[in-house]
Structure 1
Amino acid sequence: MNTGTYAQTHETILKNGKELFLKEGFERANLREICRLSGVTTGGFYRHFKDKADLFSALVEPAIQGLQAQYSASEKLCFTVLENSGIDKIWKVSAEALEDFVSYIFDHLEAFKLILCCASGTKYAEFTDWMVEREIKDMYKTCELLGKKGITVRRLPPKELHMLTHAYFSCIFETVLHNFKKKDALNSMKTLADFFSAGWRTVFGLGDGKNKSLRGILV
């Protein structure tokens, strides 16, 4: 049995829970096995976490909160640039934001492997859709700001916009699903940005993007 302090036992449960979730996924991971590996009874486990889902949340929530905070900072910067500078500058800011986004994910890789590969049966299985919905709201705001600058943007049907934005985030997260090295993931974002930038210019009716261009994605 585990004879450590409360804090030590807590960390042991987190460690063994993470390892088992990564190996088996949330749904197949057995709470009794987590307890056995951690040297605690199920009663002892419940003094630390309400249930298996609570343990999973403890493992991934800090990384998600950090990513959302970084996203919010990039979001604010992009809108400030869009309001106060020429359209062309948003390209550089967006590229840097995307690199920071992916870099953060790879700096917290195990947490995002849990979220993207092992979260079936938890609320975090909807993580990609959470990001998509937030991004779509930002895209609508971007279109409004462009309209104030006299730049007409063709409105896409909501389902089409969701589909395209989901494809974008899916491409980003493929780097985690397919075990990219961080350096390779960051390099692939350059190709991804070029590919989607050209597509957004076309579907939004923004021409060749030399003067009135829009990346369409804030990360």
Structure 2
Amino acid sequence: MTEKAENTRQNILKTALNHFLEYGFAGTSLRSIVKDAGLTTGAFYKYYPTKEALFDALIDPYVEELYGIYDSVLEEFQSLPPEKQTENMASASGNGMDQMVNYVYDHYDNFKLLLRCSDNEKYGDMIHNLVGREMRSSKQYVDEMHRAGINVPDISDSLCHMIYSGFFSAIFQIIEHDMDRETAIENVGKLKKFYTGGWERLWKVQFPE
């Protein structure tokens, strides 16, 4: 893509983001986006074939990047030997949450669009996928502890799903309530400590800070 074409694409995205945030998905017309972007309809369709495709372009890449951040943190943690995983659980988790919150705030309007202007299917899928990642990571942690001869109780999948669904849904209240970045980082840090204390009780371990 040429520099001119990329600039046009970015102009379309910026214009569309403003329209979707102001009028919602249903209330936004492609005609108004095309007009405000200073394009012809034919020129616009070279970039996005439908309103749905344009909306997806404003959300999907950012959600995928958020998964990438989370996966990277999990991979680094899981590379630790078993005896180091419990010792580093709190710091690794806290660092991961800070990275995620900062990324959300770097692209705040895109995540605001996800929560407030979609049909919530995308938001539900994001929460579901994050929960699935965390559940697999927890199972791997318990398995590693067992292989190392450390008695960590198994927790049912249904309970894990409830806990992590609540946790990730709570995190995105930072957008629902329009918190500033500093407040969001502080609140998510305290939320993490709250949940960490619960896991210490359930797993009968201590996660040093």
- Over the residues paired in the alignment, what is the CA RMSD in angstroms? 2.4
Q: Shift of residue 186 of structure 1?
A: 0.8
Aligned counterpart, 2:63 = 64
Unaligned runs of 5+ in 2: none
Q: Are the counterparts in 1 of residues 67 and 130 from structure 2 also a CA contact under 8 Å?
A: no
Aligned counterpart, 1:158 = 157
Using a 3 Å threshold, how does the CA distance of structure 1 residues 11 and 97 change in structure 2: closer, same or farther?
Answer: closer
Cα displacement string for residues 145-170 of structure 1 (whole angstroms, at most 9, x for unaligned residues): 12212233333333332121110001
SS of the residue 2:77 aligns to: helix
Aligned counterpart, 2:178 = 179
Q: Shift of residue 82 of structure 1?
A: 4.9
Q: Shift of residue 61 of structure 1?
A: 3.0
Aligned partner letter, 2:31: R
Q: Shift of residue 86 of structure 1?
A: 5.6
Q: How far, CA to CA, are the matches of 1:199 and 1:126 in structure 2?
A: 25
Q: Shift of residue 6 of structure 1?
A: 4.1
Aligned counterpart, 1:142 = 141
Q: How far, CA to CA, are the matches of 1:7 and 1:137 in structure 2?
A: 39
Aligned counterpart, 1:25 = 24
Q: Are the counterparts in 2 of residues 14 and 55 from structure 1 also a CA contact under 8 Å?
A: yes
Unaligned runs of 5+ in 1: none
* TM, length-normalised to structure 1: 0.82
Q: Shift of residue 214 of structure 1?
A: 9.4
SS of the residue 2:39 aligns to: coil
Q: Are the counterparts in 2 of residues 10 and 48 from structure 1 also a CA contact under 8 Å?
A: yes
Q: Are the counterparts in 1 of residues 63 and 126 from structure 2 also a CA contact under 8 Å?
A: no
Q: Are the counterparts in 2 of residues 115 and 125 from structure 1 also a CA contact under 8 Å?
A: no
SS of the residue 1:85 aligns to: helix
SS of the residue 1:49 aligns to: coil
Cα displacement string for residues 34-79 of structure 1 (whole angstroms, at most 9, x for unaligned residues): 2232233443322210211211222223322322222122111111
Q: Shift of residue 122 of structure 1?
A: 6.0
Aligned counterpart, 1:81 = 80
SS of the residue 1:27 aligns to: helix
Q: Are the counterparts in 2 of residues 201 and 214 from structure 1 also a CA contact under 8 Å?
A: no
Q: Are the counterparts in 1 of residues 90 and 208 from structure 2 also a CA contact under 8 Å?
A: yes
SS of the residue 1:179 aligns to: coil
Q: Shift of residue 124 of structure 1?
A: 5.1
Using a 3 Å threshold, how does the CA distance of structure 1 residues 124 and 173 change in structure 2: closer, same or farther?
Answer: closer
Q: How far, CA to CA, are the matches of 2:24 and 2:121 in structure 1?
A: 10
Aligned partner letter, 2:61: P
Using a 3 Å threshold, how does the CA distance of structure 1 residues 38 and 94 change in structure 2: closer, same or farther?
Answer: same
Aligned counterpart, 1:168 = 167
Q: Are the counterparts in 2 of residues 17 and 34 from structure 1 also a CA contact under 8 Å?
A: yes
Aligned partner letter, 1:91: A
User: Is 1:108 aligned with 2:107?
Assistant: yes
Aligned counterpart, 1:53 = 52
* TM, length-normalised to structure 2: 0.85
User: Is 1:92 aligned with 2:102?
Assistant: no
Q: Are the counterparts in 1 of residues 90 and 196 from structure 2 also a CA contact under 8 Å?
A: no
Aligned counterpart, 2:9 = 10
Q: How far, CA to CA, are the matches of 1:28 and 1:214 in structure 2?
A: 50
Using a 3 Å threshold, how does the CA distance of structure 1 residues 132 and 214 change in structure 2: closer, same or farther?
Answer: farther
Aligned partner letter, 2:64: Q
Aligned partner letter, 2:135: I
Over the matched positions of the two proteins, sequence identity in percent amounts to 27
